[in-house]
Chain A
Amino acid sequence: MTTYTICVFTENSIGLLNKITIIFTRRRINIESLTVSETERKGISRFTIVIKHDKREEVEKLVRQIRKVVEVLAVFGYLNEDIVYNEIALFKISTPIEGKVIDVENINKVHKAWVVYWGLDYVVIEKTGTEREIFDFFKYIKPHGIIEFVRSGRVAVGKTPQGLIEYLPEEIAEWEYYL
């Protein structure tokens, strides 16, 4: 099984998530992770969808079928080596008075993770990295007692000098910047 990252640019309108995910359902492809947010162009959303598949042709067919959705501007499919990608995870770790003290310095320096909230008897640690780095940290921190753990979907940008926005239809370039 190979991991593919599919980036979809769409109009930001109601019901679009359904219109896109339904194509995965029809082809019986499971979505490993999904992130959606508005891009630097107002009114344009970007989906980052991670799937695993053993046939490249099938992924190409999927990409072409997503492109067919009327509100979709462009679709790009990537292998891991083509992109820079990351996820973010939050760990709620129990820190009772009598418990083992968490080694904040080690967490910062070795694991590149940060305590972002100090509760009375727990802390929240933020860890950014690949799925693997996050799970390495998971193993390290587990003995402290994980009260809650959440991991985001992947975000990714291509390893190309241009932004994906430049591949979008020309009219889009005229659209105002969000910021």
Chain B
Amino acid sequence: MGNLLEVEAKQETFSINLEQPQKKDFLTGAQAMMECLLAEGVETIFGYPGGAIMPTYDALYDYIDRLNHILVRHEQGAGHAAQGYARVSGKTGICLVTSGPGGTNLITPIADAIIDCTPLVCIVGQVKSTLLGTDAFQETDMIGVTTPVCKWNYQITSPDEVPEIMAKAFYIAQSGKPGPVVIDFTRDAQASKMTEKFEYKKVNKLVTYRPRIVPKQEQIEKAAELISKAKRPYILFGHGVLIADAMQELLEFVEKTDIPCASTLLGLSAMPIDHPNYMGWLGMHGMYAPNVMTDQCDVLIAIGMRFDDRVTGDSSKFAKQARIVHIEIDPSEIEKIKKTEAPVVGDAKEALKMLMPLVNKGDFTGWKNEFRKLDLKEHQKVTLRDLKGEGKIKMAEVVAMLSDKTNGEACIVVDVGQHQMVTARYYQFRKPHSYIASGGLGTMGFAIPASFGAKMGAPDREVVGIIGDGCFQMTIQELGTIAQSGLAVKMIILNNNYLGMVRQWQQLFFDNRYSFVELKNPDFITIAKGFGIEGHTCEERENLSDSLDRMLKSDKAYLLEVLVEKEENVFPMVPAGTSVAEIRLE
């Protein structure tokens, strides 16, 4: 009897607690998270549910009219899709995954995003805070694991923290040099209610983190002085120009000064390819003139680029004669690789605006013609050979034809390898944010998820993924995501039945010893059809044009497989670790 009474008494207290009106109205941590996403203007989430993130997915169920969630097939796909989305739209990409393997599967995209400066907010479930550190089911120390590869991370253990931390997360991801932020969200923080009313205040300032946007005037003046005195100035611009949305400023600067310029791989599409001052792109497989002329210029103006080793080759020999102006938002990049005479720390857009009134038109006709002379050499030795149209179809022909048919205006998403370099060489980019590639990390498997991410970010643009046969199989399961979400993504497999870039190196530098590079591939078209995606294979040159038309005309997702020359090499090439002077054309 005594026991029964006790139970009754407890129930009574319990019900009294439940009826406290204000407590009942407060949001749970998961609901607060949804409100934060809305407050930040988020429209699209790429994710995959699982145990520790279930309260958040439950909250999401009430927001499906306002938040579009794309269910991927593997968390890596969510990450790369969010990258594609962010790169094409400039907005922050959102990933929502569960703890343990969900989080660890996201590591590659996070590492990719930090090196390619892509704003991501990754919300990762975590076990209950009471279980932290106990090796609980699907527990991984996400803070420990992601610290070396993310811009910022934080573990939320109380629902009250959600608004403040999310505001901080978005600010850090988007500002300065953008990057991935990881939010480790414990299950109890998702499920329990806040103890106060939800209020969201956007953050645009932090005491400890203050990226410099507007450069110091004295740095601008020093840079302008160097630029004005130059006889053979040369601009190298990178991804920073696209991130800072400084395309117009760059164009005006180049037109006012008449200085020749070239881009890095990720700087592609920041300037229309047919601009008379644009000389092409440089780097390991970049164009001949832009590479070689780094040894000839007297002042090198680097804008939003970081002298990556794939750009410089042997950095001690790179542009040794040049005085360097380096416009860069991240102070730790200044002098990381090259001694810099005039560093300008700040946003590329602001820096170019401030430089404009201090620079004048120079006469660089002779200097520009030197580029054009070298171009001719490349054209005769490489381009004509690539586009000759004999034997098996060459990758270059496919890309060049696609470029013509899309008028250079499609958004091209590439994977990693020979096809990536060939696309950079032969697609005539006329619109910004059109070359989406994993540049810094070189992540194979990037393109399928990044292309549907890009399609979500730019639904009105033609998005074409150009993918190698090796890469395609690394994230092939994401065809399911494309089919389910009904996105009209076009994909081209340039199939040479090899891991082509590795094979090229083995041929050139490892004495033709082809060590594990040949692939016995599946029937890609049958696989695509199995997922519900139309496609066909093109084997003959005379069918190539029709094949591309068929793919482009389709209003649904489409896969075109082109069987290309098996042992084709990409030139020019600056062998790794050598100077750009050692560039090879054959």
| Residues of chain A having any CB pair with chain B under 8 Å | 10-11, 14-15, 18-19, 22, 26, 57, 60-61, 64-65, 67-68, 70-73, 169, 171-172
Please tell me if the beta carbons of A70 and B172 are within 8 angstroms of each other in the complex: yes
Query: Does any Cβ of A come within 8 Å of B330's Cβ?
Result: yes
- Number of residues of chain B lying within 8 A (CB) of chain A: 20
Cβ contact of A61, chosen from B144, B330, B332, cutoff 8 A: B332
CB contacts (< 8 Å) of A57 on chain B: these are: 335
CB contacts (< 8 Å) of B153 on chain A: these are: 15
Please tell me if the beta carbons of A18 and B206 are within 8 angstroms of each other in the complex: no
Please tell me if the beta carbons of A70 and B206 are within 8 angstroms of each other in the complex: yes
Instruction: Give Cα A64–Cα B337 distance, bound, in whole angstroms.
Output: 13
Tally of contacts, chain A with chain B, CB under 8 A: 44
Q: A18-B147, A70-B151 are in contact. Are A172 and B207 (CB under 8 A)?
A: yes
Instruction: Give Cα A67–Cα B211 distance, bound, in whole angstroms.
Output: 11
Contact string against A for B residues 179-212, beta-carbon threshold 8 Å, 1 for contact and 0 otherwise? 0000000000000000000000000001111100
Contact string against A for B residues 129-166, beta-carbon threshold 8 Å, 1 for contact and 0 otherwise? 00000000000000110011001110100000000000
Q: A15-B143, A15-B147, A70-B151 are in contact. Are A171 and B207 (CB under 8 A)?
A: yes
Please tell me if the beta carbons of A169 and B210 are within 8 angstroms of each other in the complex: yes
Please tell me if the beta carbons of B147 and A71 are within 8 angstroms of each other in the complex: no
Q: Nearest chain-A residue to B172 (Cβ)?
A: A70
Q: A15-B147, A22-B147 are in contact. Are A67 and B332 (CB under 8 A)?
A: yes
State the main secondary structure of chain A at its contact with B.
Answer: helix
| Residues of chain B having any CB pair with chain A under 8 Å | 143-144, 147-148, 151-153, 155, 172, 206-210, 330-332, 334-336
Instruction: Give Cα A60–Cα B332 distance, bound, in whole angstroms.
Output: 9
Please tell me if the beta carbons of B209 and A70 are within 8 angstroms of each other in the complex: yes
Please tell me if the beta carbons of A10 and B330 are within 8 angstroms of each other in the complex: no
CB contacts (< 8 Å) of B143 on chain A: these are: 15
Q: A19-B147, A64-B332 are in contact. Are A70 and B207 (CB under 8 A)?
A: no
Please tell me if the beta carbons of A18 and B144 are within 8 angstroms of each other in the complex: yes
Q: Nearest chain-B residue to A63 (Cβ)?
A: B332
A13 CB to nearest chain B CB (Å): 9
A-B contact pairs, 10 of them (CB 8 A): A10-B208, A11-B208, A22-B147, A61-B335, A64-B332, A64-B334, A67-B331, A67-B332, A68-B331, A171-B207
Please tell me if the beta carbons of A64 and B331 are within 8 angstroms of each other in the complex: yes
Instruction: Give Cα A172–Cα B209 distance, bound, in whole angstroms.
Output: 13
CB contacts (< 8 Å) of A71 on chain B: these are: 208-209
Q: A67-B331, A169-B210 are in contact. Are A61 and B147 (CB under 8 A)?
A: no
Q: Nearest chain-A residue to B143 (Cβ)?
A: A15
Instruction: Give Cα A18–Cα B143 distance, bound, in whole angstroms.
Output: 10
Instruction: Give Cα A72–Cα B330 distance, bound, in whole angstroms.
Output: 15
A134 CB to nearest chain B CB (Å): 34
Q: A73-B208, A169-B207 are in contact. Are A65 and B144 (CB under 8 A)?
A: no
User: Quick one: which of A10, A18, A57, A70 has the most chain B CB within 10 A?
Assistant: A70
Cβ contact of A26, chosen from B148, B209, B332, B336, cutoff 8 A: B148
Instruction: Give Cα A68–Cα B209 distance, bound, in whole angstroms.
Output: 8
Instruction: Give Cα A14–Cα B143 distance, bound, in whole angstroms.
Output: 10
A11 CB to nearest chain B CB (Å): 6
Q: A61-B336, A64-B332, A70-B172 are in contact. Are A22 and B208 (CB under 8 A)?
A: no
Cβ contact of B208, chosen from A60, A65, A70, cutoff 8 A: A70
Cβ contact of A70, chosen from B152, B155, B330, B336, cutoff 8 A: B152
B191 CB to nearest chain A CB (Å): 22
What would 11 more interface pairs be, CB under 8 Å, given A18-B147, A71-B208?
Answer: A10-B208, A15-B153, A61-B332, A64-B334, A64-B336, A68-B332, A70-B209, A71-B209, A73-B207, A169-B208, A172-B207
Q: Nearest chain-A residue to B337 (Cβ)?
A: A61
Instruction: Give Cα A65–Cα B151 distance, bound, in whole angstroms.
Output: 12
B127 CB to nearest chain A CB (Å): 17
User: Quick one: which of A68, A71, A72 has the most chain B CB within 10 A?
Assistant: A68
CB contacts (< 8 Å) of A172 on chain B: these are: 207
CB contacts (< 8 Å) of A72 on chain B: these are: 208
CB contacts (< 8 Å) of A64 on chain B: these are: 331-332, 334, 336
CB contacts (< 8 Å) of B331 on chain A: these are: 64, 67-68
CB contacts (< 8 Å) of B152 on chain A: these are: 70
Q: Nearest chain-B residue to A64 (Cβ)?
A: B332
B154 CB to nearest chain A CB (Å): 9
Instruction: Give Cα A124–Cα B148 distance, bound, in whole angstroms.
Output: 42
Going nearest first, the 6 A-B pairs with the smallest beta carbon separation are A64-B332, A70-B152, A70-B209, A171-B207, A65-B332, A73-B208
Instruction: Give Cα A67–Cα B148 distance, bound, in whole angstroms.
Output: 15
A16 CB to nearest chain B CB (Å): 10
CB contacts (< 8 Å) of A68 on chain B: these are: 330-332
CB contacts (< 8 Å) of A61 on chain B: these are: 332, 335-336
CB contacts (< 8 Å) of B151 on chain A: these are: 70
Q: Nearest chain-B residue to A74 (Cβ)?
A: B208
CB contacts (< 8 Å) of A11 on chain B: these are: 208
Instruction: Give Cα A41–Cα B375 distance, bound, in whole angstroms.
Output: 61
Q: Nearest chain-B residue to A22 (Cβ)?
A: B148
User: Quick one: which of B144, B207, B208 has the most chain A CB within 10 A?
Assistant: B208
CB contacts (< 8 Å) of B155 on chain A: these are: 14
Instruction: Give Cα A115–Cα B167 distance, bound, in whole angstroms.
Output: 54
CB contacts (< 8 Å) of A14 on chain B: these are: 155
B520 CB to nearest chain A CB (Å): 39
CB contacts (< 8 Å) of B210 on chain A: these are: 169
A72 CB to nearest chain B CB (Å): 6
CB contacts (< 8 Å) of A10 on chain B: these are: 208
A17 CB to nearest chain B CB (Å): 11
User: Quick one: which of B143, B207, B335, B336 has the most chain A CB within 10 A?
Assistant: B207
Q: Nearest chain-B residue to A15 (Cβ)?
A: B143
Q: Nearest chain-B residue to A60 (Cβ)?
A: B335
Instruction: Give Cα A67–Cα B207 distance, bound, in whole angstroms.
Output: 13
CB contacts (< 8 Å) of A18 on chain B: these are: 144, 147
CB contacts (< 8 Å) of B144 on chain A: these are: 15, 18
Instruction: Give Cα A172–Cα B206 distance, bound, in whole angstroms.
Output: 11
Instruction: Give Cα A18–Cα B142 distance, bound, in whole angstroms.
Output: 13
A123 CB to nearest chain B CB (Å): 40
B173 CB to nearest chain A CB (Å): 11
Q: Nearest chain-B residue to A10 (Cβ)?
A: B208
A60 CB to nearest chain B CB (Å): 8
CB contacts (< 8 Å) of A169 on chain B: these are: 207-208, 210
Instruction: Give Cα A169–Cα B153 distance, bound, in whole angstroms.
Output: 23
Instruction: Give Cα A171–Cα B209 distance, bound, in whole angstroms.
Output: 12
CB contacts (< 8 Å) of A60 on chain B: these are: 335
CB contacts (< 8 Å) of B209 on chain A: these are: 70-71
CB contacts (< 8 Å) of B208 on chain A: these are: 10-11, 70-73, 169
Instruction: Give Cα A16–Cα B489 distance, bound, in whole angstroms.
Output: 42
Instruction: Give Cα A71–Cα B115 distance, bound, in whole angstroms.
Output: 20
CB contacts (< 8 Å) of B172 on chain A: these are: 70
CB contacts (< 8 Å) of B147 on chain A: these are: 15, 18-19, 22
A163 CB to nearest chain B CB (Å): 18
